[in-house]
Amino acid sequence: MRLFFAAFPDVATRGRIEEAARLLALGAAARPVPPAKYHMTVVFLGEVPERELAAVRAIGARLCDRSFSLRFDRLEFWSEARALVMTARRCPAPLEQLRESLESDLTAAAVAFDAKPLRPHVTLARKMVQAPVLQATGIDILWRVRAIHLVSSATDSAVDGSTADASVYTVVDTWRLLDKRDASLR
């Protein structure tokens, strides 16, 4: 089972991301990511044996981090991945703390994960041949992260890939992050 911890935007934020993506001149080869698949990966685990799933879910269930806001304010072309991504110039401390907490608990449970540095981003398009000409208007999307999800990713071989992203995401579990009112409860 291929797993990752991620945040998905609420409907209004997803709409703002979709509108920003729609204004980009991506080129004919590009494959836009469907808006329902917009997400920000917090920790990527990769292939996780079924026997470790309970431990991973228990780690998520112990989350008591606060909700936070994240401002996506840049567009970048990642040539190695051939992807256009929306990134945050600044990573807020609560996101860094959440990531560190998850990594610490995963390490303690002997569950492997990808330890690459955190680069908050949302992929807008894949299979880019070259960097698009980006409009001078830039991007400025504020996203309030209120929940973390454990997500399973699989490849759907039935999807032809001509216009679709062939990955299929299934939310395995969801944990709400605390807001200021909830913080006094824990």
**Which residue, 120, 119, 168, 133, is CA-closest to 30?**
133
Copy the structure tokens of residue 160.
Answer: 């032809």
**Which residue, 35, 160, 177, is CA-closest to 94?**
177
Q: Is residue 47 part of a domain?
A: yes
Query: Looking at the 3D structure of the chain, how many domains does it have?
Result: 1
Q: How far apart are CA 146 and CA 148, in angstroms?
A: 7
Domain housing 18 = 2-158
| pLDDT, tens digit, 9 for 90 and up, residues 129-141 | 777 766 555 789 9
Q: Is residue 179 part of a domain?
A: no
Q: Is residue 136 part of a domain?
A: yes
pLDDT attached to residue 129 = 79
Q: Is residue 175 part of a domain?
A: no
Strands 40-47 and 68-72: unpaired
**CB neighbours of residue 142 within 10 Å:** 11
Range from 96-105, 146-155, 159-168 carrying the lowest mean pLDDT? 159-168
CATH of the domain at 97: 3.90.1140.10
Q: Is residue 149 part of a domain?
A: yes
Percent with pLDDT over 70 in the chain: 88
